[in-house]
Structure 1
Amino acid sequence: MKKLTVSLAILAAMGMSVAGTANAANNGKLVFNGTLTNITCDIAAGAGASDGTNLGEINVDMGNVSFSDIGRFADNKLETASPIQLLVDCTGGAAQYNTVSMRFIARQGSGLDNLDHKLLRTTGAADGVGIGLLNASNQLMDLSGNETIDTPLIKQGVDGARAEINFGAVYVLNGATTNPGKADGFLPFVMDYQ
């Protein structure tokens, strides 16, 4: 009986040693990279959009759209697209920058559509649809990728600049059975100055 107990104790100690080694292999490090700038810019709604109730929010009215008026991503059916214009007004630190790039972070918004990852997932009762974004060339963007909308900064005075970012949004069928209702969504964006 003592022999069995000793053997179990040795096996248990070996198991703890292996578990301890496995946990030690989970070490890692975070590497942070970034750049600080002194550019000061405000983003406001232009044509086709309105300022939201919270700071930084831009509301886009997609309207009342019939399923018969929209198509799949590959169909590029854009008749019901809502134009969006954002106005960038930089009041300082803009002298060294020539371009503003708008990038979208769908995964931190309402998410990517479950059936078509190029689209933004909608919230609400409607089914069978996602929201697609149109770039400045009126082409649907793949929201799962790294596409940006790049716009030149027009110099204003000594250290200011302005830009007018024009793009659009459109409902796109995702392949699921359609069901009418509210089809909202939200999409965070970041402005990068270069």
Structure 2
Amino acid sequence: MKKIILASGILVAASSIQFVQASTGNINFTGGLTTATCSINGGGGSDLDVDLGLVSIDDLNDGSAAAGANTRITVDIDCTAATGLSNVYMNFDPRSGSGQDSRDSRLLKTVGDATGVGIGLINGANQILDMRAGDTITEPLTVAADGTARASLDLRAAYVVNGDPVVAGEANATLPFTFTYD
């Protein structure tokens, strides 16, 4: 009797196994290599230090980036042997570094004892770049006859209220970036 129950249990278990049809495909990679060597701000390293200074809570922007204290950021790109390149793209990785602000994901989360603010990157149209959407800064490279290329990317940064009560204190952030060229 035990053998019949055990055999029945195995048969029931085997009959309940379902097979799922899998889909297959390819990931096709394209690209190439260039002899171009590019540096930022005269080749002094790959980090950009931006001092936002001490900002009064009364001067904080209401989230529109239209008013309030902000700091200009100029990123100069110099490339040698850049024949064939026409654009530079500055891409941001807001999920790394200090991360995105939990109240307003357009902003960078600040680290420190200040609350109620994030850091917004502001484009030339006076709008906060949308970190959650992966906004990119694009600038054409000006290529000289000798193959050198230059571009200057301009943006600004500011503390922006995020909807939480604002408390004074230290408010720092880190935002990894990558340059790509075409």
Instruction: Please indicate, yes or no, whether the TM-score normalized by the shorter chain is above 0.5.
Output: yes
Q: For each residue in 1:107-153, what CA deviation from the matched residue of structure 2 results, as whole angstroms up to 9, or x when unmatched?
A: 23322211111111122222211110011333221111132222222
* Alignment-derived partner of residue 90 in structure 1: 79
What percentage of aligned pairs have identical amino acids? 35
* Alignment-derived partner of residue 6 in structure 1: 7
* Alignment-derived partner of residue 76 in structure 1: 65
Structure 1 position 76, deviation (Å): 2.5
TM-score normalised over the length of structure 2: 0.84
How many residue pairs are counted as aligned between the two chains? 180
Shift of the 78–100 alpha-carbon distance from structure 1 to 2, 3 Å rule, reads: farther
Shift of the 177–34 alpha-carbon distance from structure 1 to 2, 3 Å rule, reads: farther
Indicate conservation of the 8 Å contact 1:70/1:77, yes or no.
no
1:104 aligns with 2:92: yes
Structure 1 position 157, deviation (Å): 4.3
Distance 2:5 2:89 in 1: 70
Indicate conservation of the 8 Å contact 2:139/2:153, yes or no.
yes
1:161 aligns with 2:162: no
Distance 1:78 1:34 in 2: 44
Distance 1:12 1:156 in 2: 73
Structure 1 position 29, deviation (Å): 6.0
Indicate conservation of the 8 Å contact 1:85/1:164, yes or no.
yes
Q: Counterpart of 1:97 in structure 2: which amino acid?
A: L
- Unmatched 5+ stretches in structure 2: none
- Unmatched 5+ stretches in structure 1: none
Task: Work out which of the residue numbers 148, 152, 157 in structure 1 matches 2:136.
Answer: 148
Indicate conservation of the 8 Å contact 1:120/1:132, yes or no.
yes
Moved more, 148-157 or 173-182: 148-157
Q: What do you get for the CA RMSD once the two structures are aligned?
A: 2.5
Runs of 4+ in 1 over 4 A off after TM superposition: 27-30
Structure 1 position 84, deviation (Å): 0.7
Distance 2:62 2:90 in 1: 25
Q: Counterpart of 1:31 in structure 2: which amino acid?
A: I
Distance 2:129 2:54 in 1: 22
Q: Which has the higher contact order (CA 8 A, sep 6+)?
A: 2
1:122 aligns with 2:106: no
Moved more, 30-39 or 161-170: 30-39
